[in-house]
Structure 1
Amino acid sequence: MSANPKGIVRLPQVEQLLQEPILAPYIRQLSRPLVTDVVRRTLAAIRQEVSFRTDGISDETLYARLEDDCRFLLNQRHARVINATGTVVHTNLGRSPIDPELWDSVADVNTGYCNLEIKLSDGKRGQRKGIVSQLLSSLTGAEEGMVVNNNAASVYLLLNELARGKEVIVSRGEQIQIGGGFRIPDILALSGAKLVEVGTTNITTADDYINAVTENTAMVLMVHCSNFVVRGFTESPDIREVARRLPEHVILAVDQGSGLSTERFAANETPSSNYIRAGADLVCFSGDKILGGPQAGIICGRKEIVQKLEKNPLMRAFRPGRMVYSLLEELLVRKLNRESEGQGVAEKAATGQAVIQERAQQLASELGDKVRLLPSEMVVGGGTLPDEFFPSWSLELQIDKQADQILADLRAMPLPVIGVIRNDRVQLNMAAILPREIPVLTEQLRSYLSL
């Protein structure tokens, strides 16, 4: 850059800066137009600064500013991180990771053309759900199954199609709010259904539901409490009794939430198949949290009702693409065959305490006295099993540095590490750290701790 006789620095042209080698990696990862915008904004900000007007700016400072601003944008791009929080299904960290073998097994389907909506038997147009419906029937015992984008879409779809303009009975204790401000009363209003509250926060009986039924009642909706637990003097009805006593014109729907099916590690959670056997007409749940597949909403139940939902015009907005369908197909096949790839990350972590301890001990031996190995706990997370904790192991970093700064340093690593603070110390919980991440984590920590 150059200065005029009065000493005022003239900044380089944008195009000149874009040719600098320091920006080449950001152009590859962000695109030239985005980096161009960053450069323009940075230059505009510098021109407004008093220090620039009086003293100018050095090349080194300018390039550092440009790199900082590009890096800030790059950090907003989706990227792999190591989950060392102890929350296995972490909403902020992408919820449940897909098993690598599962992902690889559907690569051909998703990187070429596929029979998404064509029948290979006669070449005519077919339905896009493949064999997912049959697999879901085998898993849950339901007559039919279908898939939408997520479980919030499941709830909205069944309310919109089956209860628009009519009454839906919901217990006061189940009018919950989950992440992102999703509230059951709000979603009922948006769908066009009318909320009828029954029971109290802690007690709702079968009589409460039955006595609230009118000719305009379309549905009884039972909702999984997701992210909280009510303790003490509580009571909830036997779903079999409610199903038996409801008039034929009232649909019994259950938002089961978590997606527990054949897993056996959550004793206090009701599997979706149990609701079907108890008489629920519809059960909806998440495809990723416990099940272990891609994020999706799954609806299972009576065939004529599910088919009615599939014909709703909203399905054009809610239907998933081939990646979700192919991953769910492969996952369900393996789950029904009881293969390890059919297990979700929550099941693997909750039933693998010995493996977690072994990995923690191995990593601790590599890092020596810069870490302390200690027993800890993990949770499933993601609005699932809010009151259940499972054994885990953590490494506590033993370095003389502020905990907040250590967390920031970990996030700035080539493969960012997301830890937690416990008792003013940074801990890395091993529960959700995947086997293939251990070598990278070891090397990054060795370098960070200067070993």
Structure 2
Amino acid sequence: MGSDRSGLYRMLPSVEKILSDPEVEGAVRSFPRPVATEAVRTVLDEVREEMRSGAGPAESDLSSPVVYRDRIVLKLRELLRPSLRPVVNATGVVIHTNLGRAPLSEDAFDRARPIATRYSNLEFDLEAGARGSRYAHAERLLRRLTGAEAALVANNNAAAVLVALHALAAGREVIVSRGELIEIGGSFRLPEIMQASGARLVEVGTTNRTRPDDYRKAIGPETALLMKVHLSNFRLEGFTADVPSAELARIGAEHRIPVLYDLGSGAFVRTDPRGEPTAREELESGPSVLTMSGDKLLGSVQAGILLGRKAEIERIKNSPMMRAVRVDKLTLALLEATLLAYLDPEKVLADVPVLRLISRPAHAIRQDADRLREAVLARLGERADAEIVEGESEAGGGAIGQPPIPTRLVAVRVERIAPDRLAARLRAFDPPVIVRVRNDRVVLDPRTLFPEEFEIVADALAAAASGARAAGGVEP
């Protein structure tokens, strides 16, 4: 048996013979030669493995290069497909950390394109004809929109907090409420960030209650900074007390100690009157420095924004650590393009995708849910049950202060396919469709779907129901 199998293995064509076959050569001509060679070797290895289990091509076909052509092309597409891919977000979580957080506007991307593809005045002062500061481009708009004396941009909010702590308090003490020692996404904990900055943490109060006198009693010769931290992704309720940012700023002023406020998500406008104060409103409460994210409720690119008094911002800007966390030209271009949209308060809710999705009116969501349900039933017919139910969308991104957002969900059940299996097949579609499973059904929230994606979701469900997959999809 083993000798028979060896003889069959010898019938397989060589890599060079396959690549020199006219039909194969024509099919792979547009692909890089080294990758085509890798694809052929991989396909031959797979065929050998199949033969060991009694499968594989018929013996009469083993030596024919053209038999492997289609598999080679599929393998090439798989090898060359980017790992980072667009997906369809049908979860209703607007600022979905795992799905890239804030989608950018087409206008912002168009404005940034020439900066990415051409030379720019990133660090060149056109008027003086000399070296300039990369931070000047975003600073003018950040100051105008928030009322800050000065502004700075790092590569994310954790970096903004890290560099602020390092510049303002390295080797000295920072006083923080015990109830605000948060852990943010990816298991990054505030005490660990503070330790990395070189500052020494001083905890005050208890987990659920911290009073102004707790800060006052902890202040000593080594105190460099008072710090307040937004709880971001959790909420304390019941027998609780904290110190508002305005009160902490007064304590800082009494003792001539700067106050750092990590606002977390942060926002420049309210999408709901019940929402939390904007960055401008929080700055008016008096912190020396405020930090926030660029890719959450602001609706821009990943960035850590530092706003506040000129003296403290300059100290941070001049820190050697600032170079390690500085942003590149594309980040600045995308951020500036988004900030420009905020100059028109009447249009910003429509022009910034995150704000548009969060503030989408109830009647529009109802229409979208009807449209989505009709598209699903048109594709699947009697194979599926699709019902519109009430639900809630989420702002996401740690924006815990945002009120719940009522929505309409399309709850789908496909015959003979368990909901978890259906969700897995939707993720295998090209483009992948990401959904939630609730009450034994797949639920689709139209709030986070862009207009062209309704038909994609319907096509994905039809393919999942039939066991098929789109070109490039991978069956789970």
Under a length normalisation based on structure 1, what TM-score does the superposition of the two structures give?
A: 0.88
Relative distance call for 1:275 and 1:108 in structure 2 (3 A) is same
Offset at 1:65? 7.7
In structure 1, the residue matched to 2:414 is 399
In structure 1, the residue matched to 2:366 is 357
What SS class does the counterpart of residue 200 from structure 1 fall into? coil
What SS class does the counterpart of residue 168 from structure 1 fall into? strand
Distance 2:324 2:83 in 1: 25
What SS class does the counterpart of residue 407 from structure 2 fall into? strand
1:299-324 deviations in Å (ceiling 9; x for gaps): 00011211221122222221111211
Structure 2: which 5+ runs fail to align?
Answer: 467-476
Query: Which residue identity is paired with 2:9?
Result: V
Query: Which of these two proteins has the greater Rg computed from alpha carbons?
Result: 2
In structure 2, the residue matched to 1:131 is 137
Alignment of 1:180-329 (within 5 A): 180-246=186-252, 247-265=254-272, 267-329=274-336
Structure 1: which 5+ runs fail to align?
Answer: none
In structure 2, the residue matched to 1:98 is 104
Relative distance call for 1:261 and 1:66 in structure 2 (3 A) is same
In structure 1, the residue matched to 2:452 is 436
Distance 2:465 2:368 in 1: 19
Confirm or deny: 8 A CA contact 1:288 1:294 kept in the other structure. yes
Distance 1:205 1:379 in 2: 32
Query: Which residue identity is paired with 2:389?
Result: L
Compare 439-448 and 380-389 and name the one that shifted more: 439-448
Confirm or deny: 8 A CA contact 2:155 2:327 kept in the other structure. yes
Query: Which residue identity is paired with 1:348?
Result: R
Alignment of 1:25-104 (within 5 A): 33=34, 40=41, 52-53=51-52, 55=54, 57-58=56-57, 77-104=83-110
Relative distance call for 1:390 and 1:165 in structure 2 (3 A) is same
Q: Which of 147, 151, 165 lines up with 1:141 in the alignment? A: 147
In structure 2, the residue matched to 1:173 is 179
Confirm or deny: 8 A CA contact 2:338 2:352 kept in the other structure. no
Query: Which residue identity is paired with 1:372?
Result: E
What SS class does the counterpart of residue 88 from structure 1 fall into? strand
In structure 1, the residue matched to 2:117 is 111
Distance 2:339 2:117 in 1: 21
Offset at 1:266? 6.3
Offset at 1:110? 2.4
In structure 2, the residue matched to 1:415 is 431
Distance 1:25 1:392 in 2: 48
Relative distance call for 1:316 and 1:387 in structure 2 (3 A) is closer
Query: Which residue identity is paired with 1:149?
Result: N
Distance 2:29 2:325 in 1: 35
In the alignment of these two chains, the number of paired residues is: 445
Distance 1:158 1:198 in 2: 20
Confirm or deny: 8 A CA contact 1:240 1:278 kept in the other structure. yes
Offset at 1:90? 0.7
Distance 2:413 2:36 in 1: 39
Offset at 1:155? 0.7
Confirm or deny: 8 A CA contact 2:95 2:396 kept in the other structure. yes
Confirm or deny: 8 A CA contact 1:87 1:378 kept in the other structure. yes
Query: Which residue identity is paired with 1:382?
Result: G
Confirm or deny: 8 A CA contact 2:18 2:24 kept in the other structure. no
Relative distance call for 1:398 and 1:4 in structure 2 (3 A) is closer
Please give the root-mean-square deviation of Cα atoms over the aligned residues, in Å: 3.1
What SS class does the counterpart of residue 133 from structure 1 fall into? helix
